[in-house]
Homo-oligomer: A and B are copies of this chain.
Amino acid sequence: MSRLLLLSSSRSGSTGYLDHAQPLIADFLGDNPKPVKRVLFIPFAGVGKTFDIYLEQVRPTFDAQGLEVEGIHQAADPKAAVRDAEAIVVGGGNTFALVKRLYDADLLDTIRQCVANGTPYIGWSAGSNIAGPTLCTTNDMPIVEPPSFSTLALVPFQINPHFIAGKPEGHNGESREERLEEYLALNPHALVVALREGTALSREGHSLRLLGELDGLTFSANGQQALAANSRLDHLLTPY
């Protein structure tokens, strides 16, 4: 049974790093059928900081819950580290860097299999984006070229993290809504779940829920639909 916690962002408004995420992570791991004492952190989305520094940045969040954290970059055998993980945690940063490094280390299939077999998966930002079938609804700059845009497909819909409506005044770039409409123009059968900062999806097998204080949105060829805060979204897991 797949268990996923997909957070939009590492911060909510002006709160500290992973502050809003900590209770959600504690609940999610606390509910796991097998007790979790140790998590595997995948820092591959990190750019402009070392993986060690990124690991230290997330450690306090897990420390506070009495959890050990291992960085996959320190593992002698990264695939074995994924297979042995009690929980997989994929941090945010740049989605293209994350996907390229996951392909370079040939880890996508292993992660997919472990999650299918019940290893809980936690992601935020880029780490949530790659839980969809492709990276096509990332907000990130394509700073490196991954071998493919295909990602983990742990859920059957696309995820757009850090969702924000509208655009800065006086600038002629597209709004987020316009970008997602463009995605749908070329991918008319897709469904996109847009997650505002501070919100998250949690999946427990066939059950899906929106967490957090804000509503969410879906985008599809049928238009936009609001997702109520804290509502059940199981229907998004069935083929559409």
Could you list which residues of chain A lie within 8 angstroms of chain B, going by C-beta atoms? Answer: 9-11, 13-14, 47-48, 94, 97, 134-145, 148-149, 162, 164, 168, 170-174, 179-183, 185-187, 197
Kindly report how many copies of this chain are found in the complex they form together.
2
- Find out whether the CB atom of B137 lies under 8 angstroms from the CB atom of A141: yes
Known contacts A97-B186, A182-B141; A170 and B14 CB within 8 A of each other: yes
Q: Which residues of B contact A142 (CB under 8 A)?
A: 135-136, 138, 142, 149
CB distance from A217 to the nearest CB of B (A): 16
Report the separation of the CA atoms of residues A6 and B181 in the bound assembly, to the nearest whole angstrom. Answer: 27
Q: Which residues of B contact A135 (CB under 8 A)?
A: 142
- Find out whether the CB atom of A145 lies under 8 angstroms from the CB atom of B145: no
Report the separation of the CA atoms of residues A170 and B14 in the bound assembly, to the nearest whole angstrom. Answer: 7
Report the separation of the CA atoms of residues A11 and B138 in the bound assembly, to the nearest whole angstrom. Answer: 25
Question: Can you report 26 residue pairs joining A to B where beta carbons are below 8 Å apart?
Answer: A11-B172, A13-B170, A14-B170, A47-B182, A47-B186, A48-B182, A94-B182, A97-B182, A97-B186, A135-B142, A136-B141, A136-B144, A136-B145, A138-B141, A140-B174, A140-B179, A141-B179, A141-B183, A142-B149, A143-B183, A143-B185, A144-B187, A162-B173, A164-B171, A164-B173, A168-B168
